[in-house]
Amino acid sequence: MSERYEAGMKVRRAVLGDAHVDRAEADKTAFDAPFQEMITEGAWGTVWSGNGISKRDRSLVTLALLASGGHWDEVAMHIRATANTGATPKEVREVFLHVAIYAGVPAANHALRLAKRTYAEMGVEL
């Protein structure tokens, strides 16, 4: 594997947690292996590995973009990742308020419902 892949896997594990990455790796097949390699190198080895903004800020930006696009499974995954990035529930709520204004109330409403459910599953009191 490339250096970018190795760097990406390190950041991916730090943000999403070993359990999540281990499950994704265990579920990987020859069919989706090229995709997994691409996201590990591109998203995690390039974007998330950058030093221009903090992991906390990347986490909040990612949540806004995912909610705006209606990528609900990914929203829940990245809410869980806030435990590793330092983004607080209050900051996540503020991001979703921003989403309401710039991307639509229905998207923000759904994202807030997901956040409440995901934080409850995580044992985070809101």
Identify whether residues 43 and 86 lie together within a single domain: no
Please list, residue by residue across 42-61, b when 16 or more beta carbons sit within 10 angstroms of its beta carbon and e when fewer do.
eebbeebbeeeeebeebbbe
Identify whether residues 80 and 124 lie together within a single domain: yes
The CA-CA-CA angle for residues 120, 43, 108, to 5°, reads 40
Q: List pLDDT tens digits, range 6-37.
A: 999 999 999 999 999 999 999 999 999 999 99
Mean pLDDT, residues 50-55 taken together: 96
Identify whether residues 66 and 35 lie together within a single domain: no
Question: How much is the pLDDT for 119?
Answer: 98
Q: Tell me the three state secondary structure of residue 52.
A: coil
Question: How much is the pLDDT for 90?
Answer: 98
Q: Would the pLDDT of 56 be above 90?
A: yes
User: Token pair for residue 21?
Assistant: 């990455």
Q: Would the pLDDT of 83 be above 90?
A: yes
Identify whether residues 23 and 71 lie together within a single domain: no
Q: Residue 70 sits in a domain of what CATH number?
A: 1.20.1290.10
pTM of the model: 0.94
Percent of the chain with pLDDT over 90: 99
Residue 117 CA to residue 121 CA, distance in Å, equals 6
Identify whether residues 123 and 62 lie together within a single domain: yes
User: How many DSSP H helices and E strands does the chain contain?
Assistant: 7, 0
Q: Which of 25, 72, 69 is nearest to 17 (CA)?
A: 25
Percent of the chain with pLDDT over 70: 100
User: How many domains does the chain fold into?
Assistant: 2
Domain range for 89: 53-126
